[in-house]
Amino acid sequence: MTSTSCGGTGQETKVWQASVRSDDPVATVAPTWINGLRVVRDSGKEQSCVWSTTYPQVPGAQPLTDELRRLVEERRAGFLEWARESGCGESEVKAPELNIGFGFLAASGDVIGVRFTVYQLGGAGDGKSTTSRWYDGAKGQVVPALSLINPPSMSRFEALTQKALADIDGQARLTDPRTLDDLAFTRSGDLVVTFDEGEVAAGAVGQAHAVLPRAEVEPLLSDFGRRAQAQVMRPDERLALPGYTADGSVDCRRVKCVALTFDDGPSPYTDRLLKYLAAYRAHATFFVVGQNVVMHPGVVRRAMRAGHEIGNHSWSHRDLTRLSPAGVRADLLRTDRAILKATGVTPTLVRPPYGSFNRIVRRQSPHPLVLWDVDTLDWLYRNSTHVTRAAVRPARPGSIILFHDIQPTTVQAIPQVLKRLSKRGFHFVTVSQLYDGKVPPRAFRGPHP
Residue positions annotated with a catalytic role? 263, 404
Please check whether residue 164 is in contact with residue 4, taking contact to mean a CB–CB distance below 8 angstroms: no
Residues whose CB is less than 8 angstroms from the CB of residue 87 and which lie 6 or more positions away in sequence, other chains included = 47
Please check whether residue 409 is in contact with residue 269, taking contact to mean a CB–CB distance below 8 angstroms: no
Q: DSSP string covering 9-51, please?
A: ----SS----EE-SS-----B--TT-TT-EEEEEEEEETTEEE
Please check whether residue 222 is in contact with residue 405, taking contact to mean a CB–CB distance below 8 angstroms: no
Going along 270-425, which residue ranges are E strands? 285-288, 309-312, 369-370, 374-375, 400-404
| CA-angle at 49, arms to 46 and 51, nearest 5° | 85
Q: How far apart are CA 95 and CA 121, in angstroms?
A: 8
Please check whether residue 231 is in contact with residue 28, taking contact to mean a CB–CB distance below 8 angstroms: no
**How distant, in Å, are the alpha carbons of 86, 248, 286, 406 from that of 213?**
45, 37, 55, 60
**Closest by CA position to 426, among listed 299, 246, 281, 316:** 281
Q: DSSP string covering 20-31, please?
A: E-SS-----B--
**How distant, in Å, are the alpha carbons of 11, 67, 242, 255 from that of 283?**
48, 20, 18, 15
Q: DSSP string covering 153-219, please?
A: GHHHHHHHHHHHHHHH-TT-----GGG---EEE-TTS-EEEEE-TTSSSTT--S-EEEEE-HHHHGG
Helix spans in 87-136 (H): none
Burial class (CB in 10 A: 0-12, 13-18, 19+), 205: exposed
Q: Please state the length of the chain.
A: 449
CB atoms near residue 171 (< 10 Å): 11
